[in-house]
Structure 1
């Protein structure tokens, strides 16, 4: 374990370093971590900082603590909560989050085309209608956009994908609102219909038709265009 520079959140950085050590096998499941004083010396921080880092890992199910004995790696050392690894600059970039979104949502679209129910289609179409109805209300349109992609993830009937979709959607919320505003202004200037409407409609049609290949392609085309509208392409 290397000593750390002093970023904005030392406890989260220390927690991530300990996660990496556990993943690398330096601390096995059931193994005891060094004492707080030893960790504080290793990282060149105070014991309260180490204690906070341990509390973060305990909350995520990575560690368990035993009174008077210390912190131990749990039986689920990968933890029970999914998080994006901390970076020195404070977290992943929008471009990195969008890469994750592209992978997850194209797969969700393909799975939704195979597994969707009539109720799923109703939810997807309701969100699409809400997007169109609130086109001039950018925050509401962005929220409806999130609901639309959430409904598609739900239609895939795999909660792992739903959780990832929702996480990335919230991380990209502000950028989505900007994209809606930018797209609306350009369309108004040129007198053209919003491109996102046609992209979303094509995605819905492919899912409704049960065409997995077309659904993945429609999701990919939409996300490529969305990335451009967000200035990420």
Structure 2
């Protein structure tokens, strides 16, 4: 038995084409694009909040020594944390800063969930497409009972379509969805840890800014 024994273009086209069509029909194109782009993140390291927590602590020390305006010259690579630091420098209310940081976290969760749900949907659709391929093969087989060669080809489609559907679901789509969900959960939990130190910095600097003369704040 050779590997070519398990290759049938018709069955493959039914399963892959049908699964792709189901994904396009059930998923908004924006979420579908995110699901494809998320493949690039599968082999990245899990999100680690520790470097960002250390950066917040460093920003707090800078603000304590040089004033909150000095934070405007600091480089923060993470966009969520950078936006929060910019809001602190601008003197936004601490409650607004915390709410904006949480909103960004929730938006990230929603994007990650949409990508993972897309792959989970593919895992659900692939076996169904395999079953459709099996039914197509059986219909073709019964329609050509007098042709032995046609019966064999139709039976191959019927059996291999089910195999392809199971493989796509359990060895491709479902593992991808699981890994994306695990990575999203780790990032959501890590980013939640940023809220307390950022809010503490904002609360500490708010009274200080309130005591500063207007000319100093403008400078």
Q: TM-score, normalised by structure 2?
A: 0.23
Say which structure, 1 or 2, has more relative contact order (CA 8 Å, 6+ apart).
Answer: 2
Q: Which has the larger radius of gyration?
A: 2
Q: Of Structure 1 and Structure 2, which has the larger fraction of its residues in helix?
A: 2
